[in-house]
Structure 1
Amino acid sequence: MFANKGTGSLIIRLVLGIIFFVHGLQKFQGGIENTSGFFDSVGIPGFMAYVVAAIELVGGICLVLGLGTRIVSGAFFIIMLGAVATVKWSMGFVGGYELDVALMAMSLHLLVSGSSLLSLDRMMFGRAADQNNA
């Protein structure tokens, strides 16, 4: 049942997609203007809040579906790297950026390994989009 190495990637893809979808949704539901103001306060242009929230929301859905997995995972990696560099680093590892590093590692895994099982990437593009998974 778990002999296929794509099973782990599928689990990571689904969990990461849900996490980012919920965070993107939260940014819009909590008032994207508030997020924009926070971005401004840490030296990031406020409009980037809209960009990040949209990438998280739409990218989360795409990951759950397995669509554009490598591209979305790369974008998530960059978002988390930015979060660590601008806000979390000064907080230290525990209670600061440890969860961000875990999300970065998950994103990096999907960037390298591809879509895995049950993905639109694999259904639409075959093995070319998923060469590392058997």
Structure 2
Amino acid sequence: MKQVWGMTILRLVLGVVFLAHGMDKMKMGLGNVAAWFESIHLPGFAAYLVGPIELIGGLLLIVGLFTRYVSAVLAVVMLGAIFTAKLSAGLLNGYELDLALLSMAIFFVLADTAGWSLDRWLTARKRERA
């Protein structure tokens, strides 16, 4: 029971953080985010991928739907952020948050369950029908 609570809390926090980052990118305007990406020598079109991935991925994590797949995509986003934008700043005030988010996402890629979630409910229903 403790693990279920822990996994649920971890998934919710991860989802809320990504949702907030996605909402922030949308509020700034993806064109502005694209311009910032280009200013640090990243392709501007990536902003049009990252913003919605963070927003929708955060929502999906909050409800616990497609947790493993969403977490894998978000882990890739975090790896990209670390190696393209944050690594040169160092661990502190650089990539420490991204590293923590990456670790959380990898946990859910590897975990058998995501605590109380739609994924768990759908799996239970599927087993009942079988």
Structure 2 unaligned segments of length 5 or more: list them.
none
The question of whether the paired residues in 2 share the 8 Å contact of 1:66 and 1:115 is answered with: no
* Bigger fraction of residues in helix: 2
| Counterpart position of 1:69 | 67
Q: How does 1:14-93 map to 2 (within 5 A)?
A: 14-93=12-91
Given the superposition, is the C-alpha separation of residues 19 and 114 from structure 1 closer, same or farther in structure 2, using an over 3 Å criterion?
farther
Q: Which runs of 5+ in 1 are unaligned?
A: 129-134
C-alpha distance in 2 between matches for 1:105 and 1:126: 27
Runs of 4+ aligned residues of structure 1 deviating over 6 Å after TM superposition are none
Aligned length: 126
After TM superposition, give the deviation of residue 126 of structure 1 in Å.
3.0
Q: Partners of 2:72 and 2:83 in 1: how far apart?
A: 16
The residue type paired with residue 77 of structure 1 is A
Amino acid at match of 1:74: A
Q: CA deviation at 1:46?
A: 1.1
3-state DSSP class of the match of 1:13?
Answer: helix
The structural deviation recorded for 1:44 is 2.1
Mapped to 2, the partners of 1:115 and 1:33 lie a distance apart of 37
Change beyond 3 A, Cα 1:70–1:89 = same
Instruction: Describe the SS at the equivalent of 2:43.
Output: coil
The match for 1:132 is none
Residue number in structure 1 paired with 2:108: 110
Q: CA RMSD in A?
A: 1.6
Identity of matched residues, %: 43
Query: Could you tell me how far 1:47 is from its partner in structure 2?
Result: 1.3
**TM-score, with structure 2 as normaliser:** 0.90
The CA deviation at 1:115 is 4.0
Amino acid at match of 1:102: A
Q: For 1:117 and 1:77, how far apart are their aligned partners in 2?
A: 19
Structure 1 length-normalised TM: 0.87
